Amino acid sequence: MDFLRPASWEEALAAKAEHPTAVPIAGGTDVMVEINFDHRRPEYLLDLNRIGELREWEVGADTVRLGASVPYTQIMENLRAELPGLALASHTVASPQIRNRGGVGGNLGTASPAGDAHPALLAADCEVEAESVRGSRLIPIDAFYTGVKRNALAPDELIRAVHIKKADGPQQYSKVGTRNAMVIAVCAFGIALHPETRTVRTGIGSAAPTPIRAKAAEEFLNAALDEGGFWDSKKIITPSIAKQFAELASGAANPIDDVRGTASYRRHAVGIMARRTLGWTWESYRGKGRSTEGVA
């Protein structure tokens, strides 16, 4: 095993070009588990800790350019207003110690369906800034997840940042685990209201081979909100709409049975979370939600 320690982003890209099998390591919270448990022996480890800009973020007019290694703790503490869904998701990540190290780049690089950030990223809408010595490109999040623990990155590419749309409406995130803290998702659900475009986007985690959106549920809800004039009237969403949205979200899931939960429970739980998070975000949109986020 070789340990590569690039001092700059350019050096990192050059190293990745030279050694496409190199495994990038930033927070280490995925990679080191695999090394400690002898599940993985990469030829090269590519340390990204010395590259300061990966831990920086820029708040632009419409998007936040979030460095791949910005720790979840920083997202929770500093980007709650701009990225409320991701901030909530960040708060559910493992433990304080892990949140101090891990960042969105790791979740995207590993592309596990159980990564906590994915549903929030899908719901908010974002583009992944991937770069190699060949150049830089923006990959839409909808095209990023290509299979179980596979993503759209080329072997010589590294994730530089994620360009996430700033929230123009309420966002929520829920995750089911069998413990009240420090738990991997049995399944998770993210939702973002986008009043500017009068659309709703969603994300589902741990309930399909990849993180997915509940597209049929979104389309149904977009149409129902539109037809009922809900965006303007800010009326309470009728229970039948919420119910059907939940059922469609549940139907979007394509989960498996594993030690963390059964497929049927996951489908069930996605539906419950969809209904609840829709309720919380909509109440907040109406200006009635005393707390859209819960306190913590």
Partner 1 sequence: MRVNFTVNGRQQEADDVWEGESLLYVLRERMGLPGSKNACEQGECGSCTVRLDGVPVCSCLVAAGQVEGREVTTVEGLADYARQREEHGGCASGACGTSLQEAQQWRANPAKGATDSQTGEVGGGNPAAALSPIQQAFIDAGAVQCGFCTPGLLIAADEMLERNPQPTDADIREALSGNLCRCTGYEKILDAVRLAAARQDRQGLQEGAV
Partner 2 sequence: MGSTRTTGVPTKLTQGSQTKGGIGESTLRPDGTLKVTGEFAYSSDMWHEDMLWGQTLRSTVAHAEIVSIDTSEALAQAGVYAVLTYDDLPAAMKNYGLEIQDTPVLAHKKVRHHGEPVALVAADHPETARRAAAKIKIEYRELPLVTDEASATAPDAVLVHEGRDDEHSRHVPHPNIVHRQPIIRGDAAEAAKKADVIVKGEYTFGMQDQAFLGPESGLAVPAEDGGVDLYVATQWLHSDLEQIAPVLGLPEEKVRMTLSGVGGAFGGREDISMQIHACLLALRTGKPVKIVYNRFESFFGHVHRHPAKLYYEHGATKDGKLTHMKCRIVLDGGAYASASPAVVGNASSLSVGPYVVENVDIEAIALYTNNPPCGAMRGFGAVQACFAYEAQMDKLAAKLGMDPVEFRQLNAMEQGTLLPTGQVVDSPAPVAEILRRVKARPLPPERQWESSEGADVRQLPGGLSNTTHGEGVVRGVGYAVGIKNVGFSEGFDDYSTAKVRMEVINGEPVATVHTAMAEVGQGGVTVHAQIARTELGVTQVTIHPADTQVGSAGSSSASRQTYVTGGAVKNSCELVREKVLEIGRRKFGTYHPAWATAELLLEGGKVVTDGGEVLGDLVDVLEGESVEVEAEWRHRPTEPFDLRTGQGNGHVQYSFAAHRAVVEVDTELGLVKVIELACAQDVGKALNPLSVLGQIQGGTTQGLGVAVMEEIIVDPKTAKVKNPSFTDYLIPTILDTPTIPVDVLELADEHAPYGLRGIGEAPTLSSTPAVLAAIRNATGLELNRTPVRPEHLTGT
Q: Where does this chain bind partner 1 (CB under 8 A)?
A: 1-3, 5, 25, 27-29, 31-33, 35-37, 41, 45, 47, 49-50, 94-98, 100-101, 180-182, 296
Judged by CB, which is closer to partner 1: 36, or 240? 36
Judged by CB, which is closer to partner 2: 169, or 177? 177
Binding footprint of partner 2, residue count (CB under 8 A): 42
Shortest distance in whole angstroms from residue 21 CB to partner 1: 14
Q: Any idea which residue has 């119910």 for tokens?
A: 243
Judged by CB, which is closer to partner 1: 31, or 200? 31
Residues in contact with partner 2, shown as a per-residue x/- string from 45 to 84 under the rule CB under 8 A: ----------------------------------------
Q: Is 214 left (phi over 0), alpha (psi -120 to 50) or beta?
A: beta
- Select the residue interacting with partner 2 from 15, 186, 191, 207 (CB under 8 A): 186
255 binds partner 2 (CB under 8 A): no
239 binds partner 2 (CB under 8 A): no
Shortest distance in whole angstroms from residue 286 CB to partner 1: 28
Amino acid (1-letter code) at residue 194: H
Cβ neighbours, 10 Å, residue 154: 12
181 binds partner 2 (CB under 8 A): yes
Helix (H) / strand (E) element for 172: namely: strand 171-176
Shortest distance in whole angstroms from residue 205 CB to partner 2: 11
| DSSP string across 48-66 | -TT-GGGG-EEE-SSEEEE
The C-alpha atoms of residue 296 and residue 293 are separated, in whole angstroms, by 9
Locate 209 and state its tokens.
Answer: 């081979």
280 binds partner 2 (CB under 8 A): yes
| Three-state secondary structure call for residue 23 | strand
Which of partner 2, partner 1, none sits in contact with 98, Cβ below 5 to 8 A by type? partner 1
The C-alpha atoms of residue 144 and residue 153 are separated, in whole angstroms, by 8
287 binds partner 2 (CB under 8 A): no
Tell me whether strands 44-47 and 23-25 are parallel, antiparallel or unpaired: parallel
Contact, 145 vs 211, CB < 8 A?
yes
Contact, 185 vs 204, CB < 8 A?
no
- Select the residue interacting with partner 2 from 45, 48, 130, 273 (CB under 8 A): 273
Locate 93 and state its tokens.
Answer: 């990540």
The C-alpha atoms of residue 211 and residue 114 are separated, in whole angstroms, by 8
Which residues contact partner 2 by CB under 8 A?
36-38, 88, 91-92, 172-186, 259-262, 264-265, 267-269, 272-273, 276, 279-280, 290-296
